Amino acid sequence: MANIEQIKKLREETGLSVIECQKALKEADGDSEAAKEILKKWGKDFAQTRTDRAVKQGIVDAYVHCGSKIGVMIELRCESDFVAKSDDFKNLAHELCLQIAAISPDDMPLLDQPWIRDQAKTIKDLISEYIAKLGENITLEKFVRYAM
């Protein structure tokens, strides 16, 4: 059985709700690492159910790398204005800009690239995690990368 400290720690690490963390820890018999894997699977399953929902809100984000030799601009979409204004959504947009600046999508399709902060995840996995966390469909509608 999971204790409150385990639930709190898992919630801090994943950003998911207390109830979801508690359910995952219960299913994993208190094993935090197994609970993370369960949450990851649930997140992917949840993301699959959201892919057909309309994405009519979102933001445009931009990043210029130090030295001003590489610049990126993206259009990231979601379902509601509430999510579009959230810090989590803005953080995802920034992470995608950094990814595009670091590894050119000409070298490998963006969604298939390993994430620069965690090589065990692809960009598609990262977006799926945010879909699960925010509860809405999210799509990277457009992006452009300029390099000198």
Asked if residue 58 has pLDDT above 70, the reply is: yes
For CATH 3.30.479.20, list the domain ranges present in the chain. 57-147
CA angle (14 as vertex; 9, 19 as ends), nearest 5: 75
Quote the pLDDT of residue 39: 78
71-100, pLDDT tens digit by residue? 999 999 999 999 999 999 999 999 999 999
For CATH 1.10.8.10, list the domain ranges present in the chain. 4-50
Say which CATH architecture domain 57-147 belongs to. Answer: 2-Layer Sandwich (3.30)
CB 144 within 8 A of CB 87: no
For the ranges 5-19, 28-42, 71-85, the one whose mean pLDDT is highest = 71-85
Q: Mean pLDDT of all residues in the chain?
A: 88
pLDDT-derived band at 46, boundaries 50, 70, 90: low
The residue length of the chain stands at 148
Say which CATH architecture domain 4-50 belongs to. Answer: Orthogonal Bundle (1.10)
Quote the pLDDT of residue 85: 96
CA-nearest of 123, 122, 119 to 97 is 123
Quote the pLDDT of residue 144: 96
Quote the pLDDT of residue 42: 76
How far, CA to CA in Å, does 103 sit from each of 107, 110, 121? 7, 8, 15
